[in-house]
């Protein structure tokens, strides 16, 4: 039996190494994600693509304002099983309350979200409403509270409660498509919450 030509062996080795590298990067380092919901308008629009960092959250904890891709709780996911993309509002151990005025309070202090929540065509911020009878949540040591920037179009922790850190795929850090929207996704610089 004749051995395959050397060039064929090299092609197969190169393809195998490429696939292995791709698998390792997508599993442990970074993964592309297509925005499909309207819950993050105007920060992220449907059909934009972002790169999700899966590596640094292992040693750099999530922070308020991070945009994360997550697996929704059981019973909340849609028929396609598409992960959600939301913004972290409350951190482990904090108490989050959504007031009747639509303002979000963290540990009793109002959170200034005017820089990223959805604005209508006239530039007016949309009020935050509550999707359930509950308006206050105390987070466990392994939980965060997430909300969409377009509050009226978002199924989030207001309806399904805090989420476990283990359900987060990673932190969205780069918008790369369409090319005109290319850029780093920055975390808001929060002022200390106001009483």
- Cβ–Cβ contacts within 10 Å for residue 183, how many? 9
CA-CA-CA-CA torsion for 43, 144, 54, 64, nearest 10 degrees? 50
Residue 74 in any domain: the answer is: yes
- Interatomic CA distance for residues 75 and 84, integer angstroms: 13
Assess if residue 195 is contained within a domain.
Answer: no
Express as a percent the part of the chain with pLDDT over 70: 84
The sign one gets for the Cα dihedral 54, 149, 113, 137 is negative
89 within some domain: yes
**In a domain? residue 101:** yes
Burial zone of 13 (CB within 10 Å; 0-12 exposed, 13-18 middle, 19+ buried): exposed
- Residue 183 corresponds to which tokens in the numbers above? 């850029």
Pairing of strands 84-90, 109-110: unpaired
- Contact (CB, 8 A) for 94 and 106: yes
CB 143 within 8 A of CB 164: yes
14 in a structural domain: no
Range of the domain at 76: 33-184
Least confident piece of the model among 36-40, 72-76, 132-136: 132-136
In this structure, what CATH number is given to the domain that contains residue 172?
2.10.109.10
Q: Is 154 among the domain residues?
A: yes
Relative to beta strand 104-106, strand 95-98 is: antiparallel
What are the pLDDT digits (tens) for 79-108? Answer: 677 899 999 999 999 999 998 777 899 999
d(CA 25, CA 158): 33
Q: Is 182 helix (H, G, I), strand (E, B) or coil?
A: coil
Query: What is residue 52's predicted lDDT score, i.e. its pLDDT?
Result: 94
| Three-state SS at 109 | strand
Count of the separate structural domains present in the chain: 1
With respect to residue 10, please indicate whether it lies within any of the assigned structural domains.
no
Count of alpha carbons within 13 angstroms of residue 24, beta-carbon side: 6
Give the residue numbers annotated as catalytic, written as ranges.
39, 86
pTM over 0.95: no
Residue 77 belongs to a domain: yes
Q: What are phi and psi of 24, to 5 degrees?
A: -65, -45
Structure confidence by residue, pLDDT tens digits, 146-172: 999 998 888 899 989 999 999 999 999
């Amino acid at each position: 039996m004749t051995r395959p030509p050397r060039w064929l062996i090299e092609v197969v080795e190169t393809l195998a190494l490429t696939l292995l590298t791709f698998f390792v990067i997508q599993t442990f380092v970074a993964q592309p994600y297509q925005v499909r919901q309207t819950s993050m308008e105007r920060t992220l629009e449907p059909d934009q693509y972002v790169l999700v960092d899966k590596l640094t959250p292992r040693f750099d904890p999530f922070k308020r304002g991070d945009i994360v891709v997550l697996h929704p709780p059981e019973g909340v996911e849609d028929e396609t099983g598409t992960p959600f993309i939301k913004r972290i509002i409350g951190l482990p151990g904090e108490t989050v309350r959504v007031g009747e005025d639509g303002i979000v309070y963290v540990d009793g202090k109002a959170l200034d979200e005017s820089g990223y929540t959805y604005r209508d065509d006239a530039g007016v911020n949309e009020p935050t409403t509550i999707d359930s009878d509950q308006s206050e949540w105390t987070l466990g040591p392994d939980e965060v509270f997430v909300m969409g920037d377009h509050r009226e179009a978002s199924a989030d922790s207001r309806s399904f409660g805090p989420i476990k850190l283990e359900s987060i795929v990673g932190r969205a850090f780069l918008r790369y498509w369409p090319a005109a929207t290319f850029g780093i996704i920055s975390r808001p610089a929060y002022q200390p919450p106001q009483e």
